[in-house]
A and B are shown apart, each in its own frame.
Chain A
Amino acid sequence: MFVRSLYGDFTRTFSNVLFAVVLFLIWGVLTLIGVIVDQGKDPAIYFQSYAAPLARLIIRLGFDNIYHSPYYVGIIGLILLSLAVCTFKRVIPARLPPLRAVTIDKIPLHATVTVPGNPESVRERVERFFSSRGWQIRKKEFGGTEWTFADKHNWARRGVLVAHAGFTIIAAGTTLYWAKGFSGDAAIVTGQTVSIPRTHAALRLDHFSYTIKPIVTKSGMIYQPIDYVSRVTATGRDGVAQAATIRVNHPLNIDGTLYYQSSYGFAVRLGVTHDGVRAPGLSDRTYLSGDTLTLPGTERSVTLAQFIPTVDRQTGQPSADPRVNDPAIDLQVFDGGQPAGEALVPMKSWIDVGGGWRITPQRYFLVSGLQYRYDPGVALVGIGAFVLLAGLVISFYFLPARLFIRVERAPAGATVGVAAMTVKGYDIFEAQFAQLVGQFAEAT
């Protein structure tokens, strides 16, 4: 008994549109928090941007990663549950109102027209008039009076169902990605090959190029990137190596995983010598920004902070020009973990880092930053989105309406009483109803 009443309360609440609106409101508020609070940043950033108690709150409540938080997933889960309950309890059972006799004057949208002719012929004219305008006609007798019922767009009652199904399909598609999909980044140095985790693919970067255009604007010189192109040799599951090109907006598909051009950078080959003798292990590598080399037998380490494409000749400082003109590297030296110095070292020149160690940036290589993603849910999400859109269009543009028409004998012919009902109330049909009745009166 208790369980049954609990179940009753549950279905009543979850099928209530106002409950859905409350869920939407919570969904909206959570979404907005994610717009305002930067997502996925280091905790220190929140302490920089907000007062400490607020920053602590943001981190404790998981607002720094809200879209993957239990609340966010939970609210979408509740919306889906509510959608399911309401679909079975309300949307599917919603049918055409039964054919019945009504008191025409009691329905807010009603009109009475007197036309010449006997009731039979008038009924025929009524039928012809409305069916020629796309109304589906049915007739039934109640208490000796014949009623004519005209329906339009009755099929469009299913628009809600279609929209709701669309949202559910999108949710199914995104769940499929969570269950089976993956994504990641790969930085490939020109001439090198990387194998991509979780796939059977290997990519060799044969050549990378980029185009940057300096443009003078009102606010100064801007270096606008125009194009990034990676020429790669790709080997998929079949083991066949094939040449391919990846550029922005033109991803490469290898066995269903897509590879996107996402960034670029530089790697540097350093010559490392100790007392004039080349250190082979350290010299044969290419270093990316952030890479560190530890000098053997010392407490010292050297980090490649950054590759600088162009050093301003006059100031000797890095310039904003991202094209490679006068390249240099920014090296940071640490002693026992503590910063011991920093220097800008032009290519091919060298720097002494103490203890007889000397570092020479010898060559630079372009690095292509790729992003890869395997998402088996994309097709479902796409289909769901268009189904949802179709549901919206059906619901908005096809108004299911019913006319109740009664023809009665009158002294000068017949009176035609018409009343209208729609699934969206009366006001929405007011103008159209007046026009329809006007046309009918004119036609007869």
Chain B
Amino acid sequence: MKMPLDEVLMIVALGAYVVSALALLVYFFSREEWLRHLAIPLAIAGCVAQFAQLLARYEITGIWPLLNLYGSLSLFAAVSVAIFIIFAFRYNLWFAGGFVIGLAAIFLAYGVTWNEGTMPAVPSLQSYWAKIHVPLVVSSYAAFMVSFVISVLYLVKYYVGGTTGGLAYQTPQGTRAGAWFDAIPSLAQLDILIYRVVAVGLPLLTLGIITGAMWAHESWGAYWQWDPKETAALFSWIIYAMYMHLHTRNAWRGVRCAWVSAIGFLSIMFCYFGVNLWISGLHSYKI
């Protein structure tokens, strides 16, 4: 049997991510430039293949693949890689690429296990809002995934003892564990990078919640129903609002903010999976 185009593209994307992530992981430790030159086009190719896959799936089924974990995880992986690539080009963030693209590959592979074939949507989900709300929310999650990776690198650098580093990525001196972390940007610069990525995620999450409320206003009769998914998203929003306020204080920038940002992403994961899989509600689209 011939494999449908969308599945071929999915395999291409997954393969490209895996190789790109491995190359960037080795690059993180070895600083061999050729690895980076190999990984960048692969990451871009994987990302393009993913968007093409989403389009192909729409062409084949006539339904935007957004309303189940298969579709949304695929979009999540695609957008997180896209956001990462943009930031990496702008702020020379390639050192974090192995982790970001690796995570994206894992989420994508997990999403594939949710491929149940095509299902027409239940009436409340048959709305143009699906095409606005879902990509916004998923993109905010994707941005928070990138900020999570940088936060974890911050925390490792902070605790493992890498104390130096400037604006960009350098060659590590010596072989002790902290050396790799010495070579990535300084803690202060990592802190700013986290802030810049949260600055993408938080407005997207806010807009995602707003468009969700607009959709609910149209379909459920109230813009806010205190449904578990909504409230879990509000919980994440509150954590990032805390982050944002802490970051206005000199003394609280840095390690404390990095912790809050890392916890923020865990709350996003809870909102994304925990609510869908363990807690049911109007929003839960588990079949």
Q: Which residues of A contact B (CB under 8 A)?
A: 17-18, 20-21, 24-25, 27-28, 31-32, 34-36, 39, 67, 174, 183, 213, 215, 217-219, 222, 224-228, 247-251, 258, 260-262, 371-373, 375, 378, 381-382, 385-386, 388-389, 392-393, 395-397, 424-425, 427-428, 430-431, 434
Contacts and interface: CB of A to CB of B under 8 A. Distances in A.
Given A31-B235, A218-B117, A222-B287, A24 B127 contact: no
B18 to A, nearest CB: 26
A249 B123 contact: yes
Most chain B Cβ neighbours within 10 Å, of A21, A219, A226, A388? A21
A424 B249 CA distance: 8
Contacts of B247: 424
Return the 3 tightest CB-CB contacts between A and B, nearest first. A248-B123, A396-B199, A260-B221
B222 A373 contact: yes
A372 B217 CA distance: 11
Contact of B222 (A183, A249, A388): A183
Interface stretch (B25-33, B145-153, B172-180, B186-194): B186-194
Contacts of B192: 427-428, 430
A434 B167 contact: yes
B122 interface: yes
B242 A372 contact: no
B231 interface: yes
Contacts of A386: 210
B117 A217 contact: yes
A18 B260 CA distance: 14
A389 B226 contact: no
B123 A219 contact: no
Nearest to B270: A35
Contacts of A35: 228, 231-232, 235, 275, 279
Contacts of A425: 250, 253
Chain B facing A: main interface SS: helix
A248 B219 contact: yes
A392 B219 contact: no
Given A34-B231, A392-B203, A425-B250, A249 B287 contact: no
Contacts of A375: 222
Contacts of A393: 203
B223 A389 contact: no
A260 B219 contact: yes
B235 A28 contact: yes
